[in-house]
Amino acid sequence: MGTSATTARQDDGSTGADPLLGPHALRAWVTGGHAARGRVFLREAETGAEALAAAADPEDVILEPAGSLPRPGAARVVGYGGRLADLGDELFLGERGVELQDYIAASFVQIVGPTAMRFFDEASWRAFLDDADLARGTGVFAAAMLDPRVLLADRSALARPDEVEGPRALRIDADGVVHLGLQGEAIGHVDDLPAALGKALPLASALGGVPGSADLIVELDRRPWLRRYLDAADLRTMLRLPNGAARIAGFGWALLDDDLADAEPPTDDPFLLDTAEGFLLADVRTLRRHLLSPLTAAVVDAIQTSSTRGRAAARVARACGVPDAHARQLCLEALAALGVHLGARTEDAAGGGAR
C-alpha cells in the first residue's frame, strides 16, 4: 500500500528528473500496462483522488488532470490536459499530445502525431482481424500497424486474452467507477479500490467495453498466432521494413515450402526474415539479430515448423541435400545456439503441412 509521503508530481508530463515518465506511463496505459514496472492509473476527475493516492504503490504512476491538488501518497503523479474517450479526443502531457482514433479511420486519416487506436464498433475489430488474416496469408500488413506513431489500444489483451493477472492499466471515471484501461469493463469502485486491485482477471476483460466483445474474444481464441502477428508488425516497425522490403516466415512466406510442416513457430521465438542483406534471425524482445547462411536459415525454418527434432532433421536433409546425421547435428546446434525452439503441433497437421 502507499505510504504517507507526499506524492511526487509534475503537470508537464514528467516527474522530476525523469521527463519520459509521463509518455512512457501513457503508452503503457493505452496498450495494457505491460511496458511499465507498476500499475498505471488514469483519473478523469477529482472523485476518488484520496483513495487512489492511498492505495497506489511507489512503482505505480497516476495520470491525473493538470492542476489537481497534491495528495499524500507513494506513487508518482503526472498531470495531463484534455481527455481520451471519444473519437478525435486528444490528451496532452505538457506540449505533447495523443489523439484517439478508430482502427478503421487510422488507415485513412493523415497521422500527424502520436495516435491511440481503438475499436469503436464491431466493424472496427472485424477489420483488425481481417487485416491480421491478410498479413498471415500474404505478408502485407495494414499501414497503421507499421506506423511507429500509432499505439494499438489494449494490445496486451489482444495478444494474450486468456492470461490471468491483476489489473495493470486502470481508469477511474467521474463517478468513481474503476474500469480496465481505455475500453475495458468496470471492476469496482474507487471507495473499495484495494478489492478491485486484488482481482485476478483474464486480460480479455480489458476489451469488455468494446461493442460485440464476446464475439471478439471468440475470434481471438481462433487465432492463437495473433500475438506473433502483432510482434511481426512491431518487428517491421523497429527495423523500418515497409511492406515489400523483406519477407517474414509465417506471413505469406516459408523458406522450406515442402508441405511437411506440422507445427507453428512458438509465440516468443525469434523471426526468420529474408532481407536484401540475406537471411536474418531477429528477436523483438531481446532486440538481437543474427545474419544466417542459407543452410542455417533452412535449419531454423525446419525447427520452428516441426513438432519433433527427427522431423526437422529429415526436412533439412531432404531440402539441403546433407546426410541425415549431419542434419541432426545442425538442428542440435541451432537449438542450442540461436534461441529457437521446436514448433507447437497444429490441430490440422495430420499427414499434411501446417502452412
C-beta separation of 55 from 1 below 8 A = yes
Last residue within a domain, chosen from 177, 206, 221: 221
Report the predicted TM-score, pTM, of the whole model to 2 decimal places.
Answer: 0.90
Question: Do 309 and 216 share a structural domain?
Answer: no
Number of domains observed in the structure of the chain:
2
Position 211 in a domain = yes
pLDDT of residue 350 exceeding 50, the answer is: no
14-26 residue pLDDT tens: 445 578 899 999 9
Question: Do 267 and 214 share a structural domain?
Answer: no
C-beta separation of 265 from 273 below 8 A = no
Question: Do 254 and 210 share a structural domain?
Answer: no
Position 177 in a domain = yes
Question: Do 185 and 107 share a structural domain?
Answer: yes
Question: Do 289 and 168 share a structural domain?
Answer: no
* CA gap 35, 207 in Å, rounded: 18
Position 351 in a domain = no
* CA gap 127, 113 in Å, rounded: 23
Residues 6+ apart with CB under 8 A from 72: 4, 5, 6, 7, 53, 54
273-330 residue pLDDT tens: 999 999 999 999 999 999 999 999 999 999 999 999 999 999 999 999 999 999 999 9
User: What is the pLDDT at residue 351?
Assistant: 40
Question: Do 125 and 34 share a structural domain?
Answer: yes
C-alpha cell at 27: 503508452
Question: Do 31 and 144 share a structural domain?
Answer: yes
Domain that holds residue 51: 9-221
Question: Do 309 and 197 share a structural domain?
Answer: no
199-243 residue pLDDT tens: 999 999 999 999 999 999 999 999 999 999 999 999 999 999 999
